[in-house]
Structure 1
Amino acid sequence: MCTGGCAKCIGGTLIPLIIFAFLANILLFFPGGKTIDNNDHLSDEIWYFGGILGSGVLMIFPALVFLGLKNNDCCGCCGFRNCGKRFAMFTSTIFAALGVVGAGYSFVISAVSIDKGPKCLMNNNTWGYPFQKGDYLQDKDLWSRCLKPDDVIPWNLTLFSILLVIGGIQLVLCGIQVINGLLGTLCGDCQCCGGGDGPV
């Protein structure tokens, strides 16, 4: 596959992932599917906006750049047929690196939150984190330590797991585009200026 075509495929795959990440992060503000009376009772990691900022906003720019590479004019750089395309592929590498940072941020935030567990009303009638280093993941009996919000544990666990998977997929895709972009920079794309007179 041409490097430009590969980039466009990656960009098209990133778009739905960005949307799902946005939605998952927004839903985290409604534990158990309900509004909460005090925002201080939400887990700290929700406010780090891993899905909105990391897998969302920081991923939009790389996705749009990747989608536009296939249609980039390769003939407009200093009179050299392949210069423009190669510069565009080099630029995509920079944006792919930005995507790696965003996806990595979301991935780490999600992993920390899953390990830490949600913030909830504990048996001593205070709000805090009743679990230690993911112990609740293997022992469902410990879930009784959380009194409110209702169903906050499966809610947070499901949504942060979705963000973890999305972040992991985005990391892989942007990592592939870093390599793809470097190949396109060094070797050019198989698209031809003038429509079919050889590789650029």
Structure 2
Amino acid sequence: MCCSVGFARSLGLALLPLALCCIVANLLLLFPMGEITYIQQDRLASYIWYFGGLGGGGALMLFPAVVFITLGKCNCCWNESLMMCGSVLAAVVGLVGSGYCFVMSGFGLVQGPQCFTSLGWSYPFADQSGRYILQPETWSRCLQPVHIVEWNVTLLFVLMGLAVLEFIICLCQLGNGLVNAVCRPCCYKQEYSLNA
């Protein structure tokens, strides 16, 4: 049990910086090139407002991180199997949060940024199903905000990468918790029968 708790704590410590990076990346999406005028004028892409990084990959991910880190530290009446079941539930919450972050970031990439073009404010890449990402020569269609395509593509790919890492970590703890919650009672029965 000590090994599995230590493993869970290390996973929780790994989740914390990933969650903080997701929050920062999502906040940067709200302020293209560090400017606040576009958020004031509601000129941001619609999927940015779903807060995939801030909510799913960030705030929601703090719950499993804290649960994993504090696993086994409270001296309460919970038995070891129940603690691992709690960590399984926290891992499921983490899987949902990282999945949400990944999906929202993917939708944001497919939609592309809202920007000012020669035809006014629009989503010039919305009908391309994400092909614009591999065609940087077309990015100059966005005149304002300056470099908005690079800004969005970079940050959304960062969010997707962080979400994948979070998903893998939570999946590892899901497996760790399930194995310990299911197998631990069996081990106790074997130990009891051997001692008897």
Normalising by structure 2, report the TM-score: 0.87
Alignment-mate amino acid for residue 114 of structure 1: L
Residue-by-residue CA offset, 1:91-134 (whole Å, 9 max, x unaligned)? 11011001100000000011111122111112212x22111111
1:140 equivalent in alignment to 2:136: yes
- Consecutive unaligned residues in structure 1, runs of 5 or more: 78-83, 190-200
- Which whole-Å CA distance do the structure 1 matches of 2:37 and 2:47 have between them? 16
1:44 pairs with one of 40, 43, 46: 46
Alignment-mate amino acid for residue 20 of structure 1: C
Shift of 1:183: 1.2
* Aligned residue number for residue 150 of structure 1: 146
Normalising by structure 1, report the TM-score: 0.85
1:109 pairs with one of 104, 115, 118: 104
Change (3 A) 1:69 1:138: same
Are the counterparts in 1 of residues 56 and 101 from structure 2 also a CA contact under 8 Å?
yes
* Aligned residue number for residue 20 of structure 2: 19
- Which whole-Å CA distance do the structure 2 matches of 1:51 and 1:62 have between them? 16
Worse-superposed segment, 35-44 or 9-18: 35-44
Alignment-mate amino acid for residue 65 of structure 2: A
1:180 equivalent in alignment to 2:182: no
Alignment-mate amino acid for residue 91 of structure 1: G
Shift of 1:36: 2.2
Shift of 1:162: 0.9
Are the counterparts in 1 of residues 133 and 153 from structure 2 also a CA contact under 8 Å?
no
* Aligned residue number for residue 35 of structure 2: 34
* Aligned residue number for residue 124 of structure 2: 130
Shift of 1:70: 4.1
Worse-superposed segment, 131-140 or 154-163: 131-140
Worse-superposed segment, 135-144 or 104-113: 135-144
Residue-by-residue CA offset, 1:11-68 (whole Å, 9 max, x unaligned)? 0000001111111111111112222244421011111011110011111111100001
Instruction: Kindly indicate which of the two structures has a greater share of residues assigned to helix.
Output: 2
- Which whole-Å CA distance do the structure 1 matches of 2:10 and 2:74 have between them? 15
Task: Report sequence identity in percent.
Answer: 39
3-state DSSP of counterpart to 2:63: helix
* Aligned residue number for residue 193 of structure 1: none
Which stretches of structure 1, 4 residues or longer, exceed 3 Å deviation after superposition?
A: none
- Which whole-Å CA distance do the structure 1 matches of 2:74 and 2:182 have between them? 17
Are the counterparts in 1 of residues 72 and 83 from structure 2 also a CA contact under 8 Å?
no
* Aligned residue number for residue 190 of structure 2: none
* Aligned residue number for residue 9 of structure 1: 10
